[in-house]
Amino acid sequence: MNIRLWHALLFCQIIWPAPAGATEVNVIGLTSGKAVVTINGGKARTLSAGETGPDKVKLISATSEAAVFEIGGARQTLRMGQSISANFAPTGVASVTLVADGRGHFLPSGSINGRSVKFLVDTGATMISMSNSEAKRLGVNYLQGETGYSSTANGVVPVYKIKLDSVKVGDILLNNVDGLVHEGNNLDIVLLGMSFLNRVEMRRDGNNMTLIKRY
């Protein structure tokens, strides 16, 4: 018997958790190739391009107007007098930092069952969702999944609830993740939905989003 499934694009509310740790960087001086900074309230020190200071704060480049730092695996640009508090994952914990595109979307590359895919982070999708053509490309036998129906702009289409053996984004690898396959090729990208995101901690800092594996 067919079982009605929730549509993959239900609205969900996300509450960003308070950071467990952060690195605070304040720029107090700039010259070509060098930046004078304070890190976590410590003494002022001068970093040269390519040099790494306390708490793994690395100066990538600097001019008299701005400096580019790598902080917690993410790159940040700061001007004179600006500061930033960058959240980061504890050492040894699998994590990935994503950077939003010009429209504010996070589009990480990753893999499903060992095959490469392009994801769109979608907190409104209850599960990782894909078209049937993408499922075929990935070798997913979706026709053996739990069958339901979903209303789309093109009418009511069959959907199949499946189990994905593995899903990987950055250093985060999860096994046995729920997925949803839509007939009709109405999805042109794989939605990284809550069946994955519920198993990571999400931290947002401007255009950067850090995902940290929880279980």
Clarify whether residues 116 and 35 are in a common domain: no
User: Which pLDDT belongs to residue 150?
Assistant: 82
Clarify whether residues 161 and 100 are in a common domain: yes
What CATH number did the domain enclosing 75 receive?
Answer: 2.30.30
- In this predicted structure, the answer to whether residue 2 has a pLDDT above a threshold of 80 is no
The reply to whether 15 falls in a domain is no
9 burial type by CB count under 10 A (0-12 exposed, 13-18 middle, 19+ buried): middle
Residue 86 confidence class, pLDDT cut points 50, 70, 90: low
Which domain range does residue 71 map to? 22-87
Domain end (from 49, 65, 87): 87
Other beta carbons less than 10 A from residue 31's beta carbon: 12
The reply to whether 12 falls in a domain is no
Clarify whether residues 105 and 178 are in a common domain: yes
Clarify whether residues 102 and 202 are in a common domain: yes
Q: What whole-number distance in Å separates Cα of residue 33 and Cα of residue 188?
A: 43
Average confidence score pLDDT of the chain: 82
- In this predicted structure, the answer to whether residue 89 has a pLDDT above a threshold of 50 is yes
pTM equals: 0.60
Long-range contacts, 47-51 (Cβ 8 Å, 24+): none
Clarify whether residues 145 and 46 are in a common domain: no
- In this predicted structure, the answer to whether residue 111 has a pLDDT above a threshold of 70 is yes
Going by C-alpha positions, the residue among 138, 145, 100, 139 that lies closest to residue 117 is 138
What CATH number did the domain enclosing 158 receive?
Answer: 2.40.70.10
Domain end (from 87, 117, 143): 87
pLDDT in tens, 117-172: 999 999 999 999 999 999 999 999 999 999 998 877 667 889 999 999 999 998 89
- In this predicted structure, the answer to whether residue 5 has a pLDDT above a threshold of 70 is no
pLDDT in tens, 46-70: 999 999 998 888 999 999 888 888 8
Residue 1 confidence class, pLDDT cut points 50, 70, 90: very low
Clarify whether residues 103 and 207 are in a common domain: yes
Clarify whether residues 67 and 134 are in a common domain: no
Assign 120 to helix, strand or coil. Answer: strand
Domain end (from 42, 61, 87): 87
- In this predicted structure, the answer to whether residue 106 has a pLDDT above a threshold of 80 is yes
The reply to whether 16 falls in a domain is no
